[in-house]
Structure formats: C-alpha cells, structure tokens
Chain A
C-alpha cells in the first residue's frame, strides 16, 4: 500500500518498520514531526519521549544502544551542535543495538538562526551519513541505517533538509520487523571512554573508516544514471530533484545517497571521459571538496551560491544559461509580510512593557524572538537556546551594575528547561544580580505545541511529574521570584521596575498560556468606540488585528481579533470595548 507522507513521517515509518525500541528528541523545525509521528505508534512497541534538550536525548539514545536496543534521536541542524559532545564519543564506543541520529538542515533559514551544513559533522565525528531525496528514500534509508549501524558498530546519521522534511510524496508501507533487544554485556574497554581505552578505540575507528570507505563504493544508495552525455552532474538530496527537473536527460547523474564517506573510485569512474563534471549541492562545497581531494576536476561553487535554497530555474541558468519562464510582475512596490506574534499572544504584554521601560533585552529562541520585530523592537540580542541568561551575565560583568539595572533576559518555559537552568546557576553562583523573565506559556510554542517537563504531560499526552519553575529557581539560589500575568500590564510593569533595581538575582515568571492552545478560550472581539482620541497607544502593541485606516482612525479587524483584551488594558481613555 502506498501513502502520501511527509519526509519526516517517512523517517518515523522507517524507524518503526526497522523495529526501533527507543526514540528521544527535542523539538526543532524542520525535524519536529519525526518524533511526533513516532508517538503515533503503540507505546508497547516503541518508547518515545521529548527530552529537555538534544544532548540529553542523544545520551539516552547512546545508552539505549549500548543496552542492546535500536534507538534514534532527531534534531534540527543547530540541535546537532547541542548533541555533538556525546555523538563524537559514541563514534568511539559504537553501538550494540543500532543507533541513528537524524538531523534536518534548514537552507534558506525558514525557521532558524543560521544556515550551517551538518555534513561536516559526519566527517569530523567519523560517522557515516545517508542523505535521502524524497519521502520514499527517507523510509528506505532510515531502515537501512539501523542495519548499517549494527554491521559496522557505529552510529549513523540521516541528513534531511527543510524541503525533504516538509514535502509529502508517496511511500510504500511495510510491516514492522520486531527487533529483540540484544543481550547486554559489561565491556569496560569498549564502553568506558577514558584515555587508556579511548586510545585503543581510536585505532578501531580508523579501521572502521577504511571499511566504510570501501562499503561506500558499492553502497546501493549511490546511483549512476548514464544518459550518454558529455556533462556529468554529481548531486544529492533535494538538489538531485531540482537537477532532474531542470536538466532532464541532458546530463549524466551520480546521485550520492551516502554523503559520508564519499565513494572515491565511483566518482573517478563516473568522471572518466566526461567533458565537464558539475557538483550541485546546497550550502557548503562538501561533495565538491571531496572530489577535489580525490584529484577529480569539478565545477561547483564557482557557478553556484552557498546561500539559501536552490531551484530548478537557478540550476538551468547556472549550467545552460537558460532563462526562467516568463511571468507577470506586480506593478506596485508591495510590503513584506514577516511573521509576527499572534493576536492574543501572552508575550505581547511583556515586550510592550519592556519597550516602554527602555530596557536592554537579552533574548532567546522561540516565538518570543519575534519581540525584535517592529513596532515592539524590544529584543537586543538572540544567539542560541538558553543564551538569554548567560549572555546577560556576560553583559553585566563587563558593563557593571548601572547597566544591569536596565537589563533583562527573556526565555520561554521550554527553553529554560533546555539550557536556561545551567545559565541561571552561573549567575547565582558567581554573585550576579540579573533579572530573568521566564515566559511561561505552558507549551513549546514555535515548533507547534509540544509538551515539555513544565507542562506535566508526556509526548503521548499522559499525566506525569511536572517540573516546578519556582522550586527550580529557588534550588538554584534565587531568592526573589515573582509570578505575574503579563496581560496585567500595570502590575507587570511595576514588578519589572522593582526587580531590575534590586542588587540580587530576580526571576519573574510571566504566566499566561499560548493563545493557540485548545484550552484557551478567548471569546468575542474588541471594538474601538467613539471615545477614541487617536493617541495610538494601542498601536504600540504591534497586534495584527489593530491598524489605522485611510482616515487616520484606529480599527480592529474582527477576523483577526480573538478578544484577548490586552488592548483594553493599555488604552488610556477606555475607548476599546469588548463585544460578544
């Protein structure tokens, strides 16, 4: 039976059919749906969880594999940075049951803070990497990755990109083959990585590298399509699909399905007798540099960009200098539509106040990163998960107390659990006096509503122990903790003012659930009455529902407004009314 599946759902299907026993991940676009889909399979067959961060998830997977189970962890490219520590050493330990790490890159940065190319990790950690080019291959390669992992005693990477993860295509559905958890044997030289053992394991790793290079030559996922042409294209993943659409049978293809290690002999044989060999790959020249190292002359980034996503038209232009199809163009200059905080978003009240107070805001990763967008324009810096707190600590350390009195960190509940706790204890331990605002919206928002340790529910929606933000902060040495509703704008403003003045660490928990949660039921809508004096205070909220019309009057769009009433609280003239 064939089904239309997202690339991510197909990876999950592949792992399921391969008999995976354990899956642990932290959500991150574009990888999130893999683990969500895994949780659709019966819990009697597979243990699926959200871990508090990618490092914890990867370590749990390494442990599960050592213990004989088949295990997988999935993350976005920047999540792999967090995972890197255990993964580099797992390369030395190897596996017992198969271990698969699936990483989804985001060329074009649809939902990310950088555009890194994760293939470099495969080479750096000496871990083989498979790269599927559609949903069908996502399933097939993931299944194969578990076998490969056990055959070569090595964890295996699956590399996806946004267009593979989030495109649906047809997949043949097969039955699950149950994997019986292998026997566990204590093995100190293999599983305890300290210098004396690791030195010996490195020898094993290098020998395995040699065997994997040999395997790559005959790996069924590296495929030659000989169309009898004089130009050869070496490509992989989504770029292969674009190339096929753009170039058809006008070139020969070597489709690389195993991104690391690359097949030296196969690449040389493919290139023999060709007038030109062109490498087509988004982001970095990974295959291209591999080919050069083998002494094969190729064209790559001289004609292709390292920035963003490719398209078939871009490839056609670069190789045959053929123009794209003709199209109509808009005659007017049109405004962009960047993402914005939703109507009813609890973060809006927070940023409204922080901007009003003119504070420096050390930001973090989540929906609330959008607090940097005009008119809120409140956030000063965003680096990576958890950095709002640690970066503010560094800022305060070099700029001193007065600066610190105008400085706050903002971090979501899930991001705080991910890596905010360690940053907070850095401040209490090192005698800092920062103010940290935890935006507790009761969910992991940006990635599409995943539960986390503070929500009291597992990935399967079962009730569980709920991490207590107040007790955690107390335990880390914070004495001043306030819980405030960010829609009570006056109270929130007063608390922030008080806490930034204090010479000790303060945590303000801004508590209000995400407006998109099913449990949140705002009703009716707000309307501007004739009392409006056009002061435009409400416009400072940056609410998508409120705008000024041609005549200069403020209007609330009924189809956008969800009746959250935040604007009613900021109007100085009582000119906004609630209608049922």
Chain B
C-alpha cells in the first residue's frame, strides 16, 4: 500500500499527542509500517502543535510536506486554517469548531480571522463539529481528542473494533469509560448540512 499521511494539529494542552498515539496503535494492529512524529517541550505550552502519522508498506520520512496530507484532524479552527497548505488535493479535513485565542489576538496585535469554516467549506472536503460539546456529553471536555479520533475512525476502512481496542490500550484506565463514550459519540456523529 502506498503511504497514507495523517496530520493532527491543535493547541498545546488539547491532547493531540494521545490522539496520535491511538492512531499509531490502530495502524500497527493493521500490520503496516508506521511512523508517528510528535512535538514535546516548549511548543506544548499553549503553542501550535503538529503531529504526523504515516503508514504504508514502507515509511521513510516521519514528517509530512505541504500538499501531502490525506487527512487533517484539527482540534481548533485557526490551527485548521494554518494547516490548509498541507492538505493534499482531494484530501479530507475534520475540524473541531472551537476558538482558542492565540497571544497576538489576546494582546490586540492581531484579529482572530472570522469565517474560517465557511471559507474551508468552499474549498475542501470538510467535516466541522462541536467536539467539545460531544466530549462534555460523554463526561469530560478533556475527552475532546478521543471524540475527534472517533469522527475520523468512521471515515477510514479500519474496523470499529480495532479502534476500540486501541483506545483501550492507550487511554489511562480511570478515564476509559468516559473516553469510550466520547469515541462512540464521535464515531456516530452525523453532519447536518
């Protein structure tokens, strides 16, 4: 199989790392070669964070170039917009419609761009949802990462059970119940057009 590129973008602290680890776990269960590239350290402190998950028969580079991502899973609106140049022609983007103000907006140096979702809808294959509300429904806003993984899982050919097993193996035991619920809410999410 040719290499499939998935990018997870968000704001440090949103739990993108756990999401990429669940994804990595799913991929090895499916018997592929895989590389997952993470960012640790200073960027995690509320900055833009990007993780790459690549799988296929043989993966060399752990990073994804512009125009090469098959799927982008965005945890925040502005980060989705920032990641747009990385999406392959015909690629799919899943966006959590949440707004987190970056420091240049907080200080008033810049404005948070309006109409991002509308603009993206006109350009690309987009699924936008309020994953925070779904996570809250599952029992914790912290489960927003697993909710989004659930949404993405639905658009892949990998069976539901494989995903659930990966969530079970990756998420800490005490948070498992909430996260499994969050995964299901994401998996069963249907966009109202």
Contacts and interface: CB of A to CB of B under 8 A. Distances in A.
A479 B34 CA distance: 58
A375 interface: yes
Interface in A457-471: none
B22 to A, nearest CB: 12
Nearest to B98: A559
Interface in A231-257: 238, 241-242, 244-246
Contacts of A326: 67, 89
B109 interface: yes
Interface in B11-25: 11-13, 21, 24-25
B159 interface: no
Given A241-B62, A375-B106, A328 B101 contact: no
B12 to A, nearest CB: 7
Given A4-B34, A328-B85, A337-B48, A241 B61 contact: yes
Given A340-B47, A374-B107, A546-B106, A330 B82 contact: yes
Interface string A543-570: 1101110000000010110000000000
A444 to B, nearest CB: 12
A330 B45 contact: no
Contacts of A324: 65-67
Contacts of B178: none
B124 interface: yes
Contact of B46 (A238, A331, A333, A544): A544
B172 to A, nearest CB: 12
A339 B103 CA distance: 8
Interface stretch (A160-168, A198-206, A258-266, A427-435): A160-168
Q: Which range holds the interface residue count of chain A?
A: 35 or more
A20 interface: no
B186 to A, nearest CB: 18
A312 B63 CA distance: 9
B56 to A, nearest CB: 11
Contacts of B171: none
Contacts of B102: 335-338
A341 interface: yes
Nearest to A339: B47
Tell me the dominant secondary structure on chain A's binding face: loop
A559 B133 CA distance: 11
A169 B32 CA distance: 11
A547 B101 CA distance: 8
B182 to A, nearest CB: 15
B65 A312 contact: yes
B132 A311 contact: no
A220 to B, nearest CB: 20
A175 to B, nearest CB: 21
A557 B100 contact: yes
Given A447-B41, A544-B100, A560-B100, A334 B62 contact: no
B141 interface: yes
Contacts of A241: 60-62
A567 B113 CA distance: 27
Interface in B75-125: 78-79, 81-82, 84-89, 98, 100-113, 119, 123-124
Contacts of B78: 334-335, 337
A339 B45 contact: yes
A548 B35 contact: no
Interface in A511-530: none
B59 interface: yes
Nearest to A374: B107
B43 A110 contact: yes
Of B87, B103, B113, chain A has the most CB atoms within 10 Å of the CB of B103
Contacts of B42: 29, 110-111, 339, 367, 369-370, 446
Contacts of B141: 559
B103 A340 contact: yes
A571 B57 CA distance: 59
Interface in B28-42: 28, 33-42
A325 interface: yes
A338 B103 contact: yes
11 contacts: A110-B43, A170-B28, A241-B62, A312-B65, A327-B67, A328-B85, A329-B85, A334-B81, A335-B109, A544-B46, A560-B100
Interface of A: 2, 4, 6, 29-30, 32-33, 110-111, 134, 163, 166-170, 238, 241-242, 244-246, 309, 311-313, 324-342, 367, 369-370, 373-375, 446-448, 539, 542-544, 546-548, 557, 559-560
Given A334-B113, A559-B100, 20 more contacts: A2-B28, A111-B41, A166-B40, A167-B36, A169-B33, A242-B60, A311-B65, A313-B66, A325-B65, A327-B66, A327-B84, A328-B123, A330-B82, A333-B113, A335-B78, A337-B78, A338-B102, A374-B104, A544-B103, A559-B98
Top 5 A-B pairs, shortest CB-CB distance: A325-B67, A111-B41, A29-B41, A339-B47, A327-B67
